[in-house]
Amino acid sequence: MEIQRLCENLKEEPSKENIERFSVIGNIIDEMVIYGAYLIDEIREQDPPVSNHNTRIMLMIIRDFLENIDSVSVLAKNGCGQGLMIVQRTVFEIYLLILYIFQGDFDENIVAYDVCHIKQRITAGRYCAKEKSPDEKQKISDTITELERKLSTGIYADLNERWEKFNTSRKYAPHWYQIISNNKKTSLRSIAKELNKLEMYNAFYGYYSRYAHGDLALLYYTCLDNDTFKIKKIRDPIMLNLICTQELGLVSDVYQKIVGKYLTDEHKRKIEEWYYEKRSQVKAIK
């Protein structure tokens, strides 16, 4: 009971008004995720097996984007502002990379993403095989052989060669955008600049990264007038309104790209209506 009391003393208990606000913000972000899932279903309706391999990869990238936004929703509903910053950093990074995939040679960008994923699978497989039984080692070896066969054909072979050259010269594995033909963009910041998102990058990404790297502990250092040291309570709902506003802008940009490539003019009209409806809801948050 003493431990429970101490934990309760450190944890911020939200007011009824804040609990309601957390719920509203979380539900709005939930609806953003639901709309993204709806767009994925609409794309799949056109071709239920999703025969195009590159389309499959893009849908998985979008799914990853939605997964992280869903995590933002869960944290927002519980008023976990600080933890939310770390996830929002990931959301913002995926957002930039999705926009960059759609810019330039879409198919090459997608295959480059796949090549880097395959190389990671091969590396992980070889490491894990060390502790496996002979039968399991053989299964892993067969999988690696199949993956290497894929890397030896067509555009995969070209991009795999670039991956190997980069890895040999730099001594670390490249990101997918570092092995494409237009590979001058060697950092997320340079991608943000090309996408005309540098101002947004400078304003948010670095700030979110500081939460991810754990060097903001003294941001909330407080001394009272009598020099008494005060520890800020945990679960602080910082920046929730701003995050919700930003989330709508990010998903809107991504959804427009998806609709423009895969869906119809009617979907474009619907997404515009959806966006203005959500914007009015976000603006109404107190």
C-alpha–C-alpha distance, residues 121 and 263, integer Å:
32
pLDDT over 60 at 5, yes or no: no
Query: Is 187 exposed, middle or buried (CB count within 10 Å of its CB: 0-12, 13-18, 19+)?
Result: exposed
Q: What is residue 185's predicted lDDT score, i.e. its pLDDT? A: 65
Q: 190, 149 in Cβ contact below 8 A?
A: no
Whether 224 has a pLDDT exceeding 70, the answer reads: no
Q: What is the pLDDT of residues 102-158, one digit of tens each?
A: 998 999 999 999 999 999 999 999 999 998 999 999 999 999 999 999 999 999 999
pLDDT in tens, 177-207: 999 987 776 799 999 999 999 999 999 998 8
pLDDT at 11: 67
Looking at every residue in the chain, the average pLDDT score rounds to 91
Average pLDDT over residues 69-87: 93
Prediction pTM value: 0.90
What distance lies between CA 140 and its chain's CA centroid? 29
Distant-in-sequence, close-in-space partners of 170: CB < 8 Å, separation ≥ 6: none
Measured CA to CA, the distance from residue 28 to residue 275 in angstroms comes to 12
pLDDT of 1: 46
Q: 176-180 long-range contacts, Cβ below 8 Å, gap at least 24?
A: 176/109, 176/112, 176/113, 176/115, 176/116, 177/97, 177/100, 177/109, 177/112, 179/112, 179/115, 179/116, 180/104, 180/105, 180/108, 180/109, 180/112
pLDDT of 236 strictly over 70: yes
**Predicted pLDDT at 237:** 78
Cβ atoms < 10 Å from Cβ of 198: 15
Instruction: Grade residue 12 by pLDDT with cuts at 50, 70 and 90.
Output: low
- Spans of all domains in the chain: 14-104+236-286
Average pLDDT over residues 247-267: 97
Q: Taking the mean position of all CA atoms in its chain, how far away is CA 149?
A: 30
